């Protein structure tokens, strides 16, 4: 076999050296991307600049320089790849790429390969201007079966002094810069040379393939993430490509199982997440994706509290009700303490009571009412005043950093109050009355308080829901923070939550989510609220749990779980789509540019649904479309977006769009004016329907 046939797999990645642009402040911008074949169940070029690859046989053609006809009926197999899916070549076929991928003498070729077998001269990436003028990236070349970049023009051998392994992913990159050539394996430079042949300058109809050439044994194995750049990447950029692919975690498309838990409070016990809510509803899940309903309402068949009407009779009679409202739960003294509310709509005659169990799923036994409201004021002999005294519902329990136990509670009326509890008994410490007011008052429409300490930032975060829970009530989730468990709590604008009373409430608290609809995806929320959060130390993830109604579906509601991520200002931003197993990863500019469905959640509480508009994020750091501005990376996945004079600090995150049924890039950001903006990319990187 002629030595010119041995260009093989050596040319797996060719890099072009180009500087970064403004959009990449804090993160490499790998500009100059000519083509990107990600093999996400398709042979298409994700940049849209070139046509899709085509399946060919085990040779390019019968003789060098000729290309055999393509059979449109041929099929190809996709398997799990380094990122998402990869294409598998079985030795009987290869992929014909469009001509024009490389047209000059400065370029980069980058790809991931996982050979099942290694045969000498077999190509991974192959490009030819003529039968004797070609380059090949080969796992095993003519010199000691070493992985190399090889050229038939003047027989150029760029050996790496190693052979990549079988059944493992290897990242191959070749960078050519006007005759200077470097080859990298798994981020490390393994060859450097000069006078590399100029094969493609002035050639209009060059031939490019994966896995096959005109002479040698075809490649058998997986190929993923082929990228062609019109410049030579720097060593830092090559390392960025390598690390990014290893760190990207894209789970399989999720299969959600729904449950209905209104006002959910979350806890994790022995690897399982549990939520408890109003009307004694409860559910559990091992992965936050598929949920199992444990109970739904107050009945003799409720597994959490059997014979609930008898067990909880004292508290139900006090509030003149037949059901329970929101819960709070904490593990204390080797037992589970489940606090619950009893009340009737619009009445201040309410109570928070306690029941305990040895096991998280019960049965729970009644222990008594720990606090009630509506009869007297904060001190003996004082009359109850709706404007200043709390409504004793919606309990939430948490420990501070010193081990002190607190309960924050309240709804409408006199605002949100906090009490310190005895960690031995779970009951309030004496002589506190209703406790200390932290947020609201003067019958402002807010409820569902929740506080959690975040060890990464050192702040206590206070979440609350404004509005009312019905579909026309404009429920929305807000947040403030403090260095102390009992406040004072401030929002990003510097507002003190103690001032959020009466008609002024909408000016206070950063609004994380309200009514919205992603029009292209046809998914959205109506009155999302009454949340809890859970920081999972094992996963290093911060989750928010809440209930929501949906556009056009009346009072029907389900539980939802989303990721919370911290921006550069140490404020939580809420991921736009429900959690599907995703993990933040380092992203490149080319990962995030494109057209997005765009929502600004604003500051007001309203029943109006905010419909998405469209914006475009471009590679030079511009935002255009419904709004105009700029954007720039501030870290591996953090971003600052400037719209007009307002800066929004946020994150990029690849998520599953249940409407489009694709993995899409998203952004979520929060301004110092208490407004959150979301974006969900219209194009996607994986479409389950194409399986």
H helix and E strand count, the chain: 4, 46
**Residue 447's beta-bridge partner residues?**
411, 465
Give the number of C-alpha atoms closer than 13 A to the C-alpha of residue 437, restricted to the C-beta side: 21
Taking a C-beta distance cutoff of 8 angstroms, is the pair 607, 474 a contact? Answer: yes
Residue 434 backbone class (left: φ over 0; alpha: ψ -120 to 50; beta: rest): alpha
Distance CA 580, CA 583 (A): 9
Query: Can 263 be counted among the known catalytic residues?
Result: yes
Please work out, in degrees rounded to the nearest 5, the angle formed at the alpha carbon of residue 242 by the alpha carbons of 125 and 41: 60
Distance CA 253, CA 580 (A): 8
Given 40, 45, 263, 311, the catalytic residue = 263
Q: Say if strands 282-285 and 272-276 run parallel, antiparallel, or are unpaired.
A: antiparallel
Element (H, E) at 309: helix 308-311
**319: DSSP letter:** H
User: DSSP readout, 212-259?
Assistant: --SSSPPPEEEEEEEEEESSBPPHHHHHHHHHHHHH---PPPP--B--
Q: How many residues does the chain have?
A: 691
Given 28, 198, 224, 447, the catalytic residue = 447
Six token digits for residue 290: 């598929």
**Residue 600's beta-bridge partner residues?**
677
Taking a C-beta distance cutoff of 8 angstroms, is the pair 231, 21 a contact? Answer: no
Query: Can 204 be counted among the known catalytic residues?
Result: no
Phi and psi at 589, nearest 5°, equal: -55, -40
- Residues with Cβ < 8 Å from 102, sequence gap 6 or more? 14, 34, 109, 127, 200, 206, 208, 228
Six token digits for residue 388: 């200043």
Q: Name the residues annotated as catalytic.
A: 263, 447
């Amino acid at each position: 076999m002629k030595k010119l046939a041995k260009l093989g797999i050596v040319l797996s990645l060719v890099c072009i050296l180009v500087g970064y642009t403004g959009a990449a402040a804090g993160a490499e911008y790998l500009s100059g991307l000519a083509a990107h074949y990600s093999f996400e169940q398709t042979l298409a070029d994700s940049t849209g600049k070139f046509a899709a690859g085509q399946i060919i046989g085990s040779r390019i053609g019968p003789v060098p320089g000729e290309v055999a006809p393509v059979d449109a009926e041929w099929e190809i197999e996709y398997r799990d790849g380094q990122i998402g899916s990869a294409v598998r070549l079985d030795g009987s076929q290869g992929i014909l790429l469009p001509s024009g991928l490389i047209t000059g003498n400065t370029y980069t070729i980058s790809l991931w390969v996982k050979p099942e077998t290694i045969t000498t001269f077999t190509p991974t990436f192959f490009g030819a201007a003529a039968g004797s003028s070609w380059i090949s990236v080969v796992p095993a070349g003519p010199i000691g079966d070493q992985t190399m970049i090889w050229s038939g023009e003047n027989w150029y051998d760029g050996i790496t002094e190693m052979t990549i392994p079988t059944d493992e992913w290897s990242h191959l990159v070749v960078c050519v810069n006007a005759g200077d050539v470097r080859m990298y394996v798994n981020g490390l430079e393994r060859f450097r040379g000069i006078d590399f042949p100029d094969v493609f300058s002035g050639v209009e109809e060059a031939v490019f393939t994966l896995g096959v050439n005109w002479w040698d044994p075809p490649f058998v194995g997986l190929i993923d993430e082929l990228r062609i750049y019109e410049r030579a990447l720097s060593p830092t950029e090559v390392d960025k490509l390598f690390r990014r692919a290893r760190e990207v975690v894209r789970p399989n498309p999720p299969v959600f199982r729904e449950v209905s838990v209104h006002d959910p409070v979350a806890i994790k016990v022995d690897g399982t997440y549990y939520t408890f809510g109003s009307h004694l509803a409860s559910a559990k899940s091992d992965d936050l994706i598929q949920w199992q309903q444990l109970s739904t309402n107050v009945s003799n068949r409720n597994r959490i509290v059997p014979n609930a009407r008898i067990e909880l009779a004292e508290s139900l009679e006090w509030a003149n009700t037949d059901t329970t409202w929101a819960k709070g739960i904490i593990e204390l003294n080797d037992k589970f303490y489940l606090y619950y509310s009893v009340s009737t709509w619009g009445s201040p005659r309410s109570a928070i009571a306690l029941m305990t169990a040895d096991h998280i799923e019960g049965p729970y036994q009644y222990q008594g009412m720990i606090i009630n409201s509506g009869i007297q004021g904060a001190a003996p002999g004082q009359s109850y005043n709706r404007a200043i005294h709390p409504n004793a519902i919606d309990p939430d329990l948490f420990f501070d950093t010193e081990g002190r136990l607190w309960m924050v509670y309240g709804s409408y009326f006199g605002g949100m109050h906090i009490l310190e509890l005895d960690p031995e008994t779970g009951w309030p410490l004496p002589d506190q009355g209703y406790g200390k007011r932290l947020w609201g008052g003067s019958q402002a429409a807010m409820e569902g308080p929740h506080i959690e300490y975040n060890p990464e930032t050192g702040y206590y975060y206070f979440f609350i829901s404004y509005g009312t829970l019905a579909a026309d009530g404009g429920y929305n989730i807000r947040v403030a923070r403090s260095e102390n468990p009992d406040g004072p709590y401030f929002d990003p604008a510097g507002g003190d939550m103690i001032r959020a009373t009466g008609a002024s409430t909408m000016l206070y608290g950063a609004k994380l989510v309200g009514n919205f609809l992603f029009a292209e995806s046809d998914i959205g929320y109506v009155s999302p609220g009454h949340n809890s959060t859970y920081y999972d130390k094992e996963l290093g993830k911060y989750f928010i749990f809440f209930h929501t109604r949906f556009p056009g579906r009346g009072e029907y509601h389900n539980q939802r779980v989303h990721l919370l991520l911290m921006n550069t200002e140490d404020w939580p931003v809420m991921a736009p789509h429900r959690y599907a197993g995703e993990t933040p990863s380092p992203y490149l500019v080319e990962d995030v540019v494109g057209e997005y469905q765009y929502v600004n959640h604003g500051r007001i509480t309203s029943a109006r649904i905010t419909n998405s508009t469209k914006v475009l994020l471009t590679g030079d750091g511009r935002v255009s479309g419904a709004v105009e501005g700029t954007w720039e990376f501030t870290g591996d996945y953090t971003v600052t977006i400037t719209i007009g004079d307002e800066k929004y600090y946020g994150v990029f995150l690849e998520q599953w769009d249940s409407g489009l049924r694709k993995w899409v890039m998203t952004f979520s950001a929060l301004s110092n004016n208490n407004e959150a903006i979301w974006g969900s990319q219209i194009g996607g990187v994986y479409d389950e329907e194409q399986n």
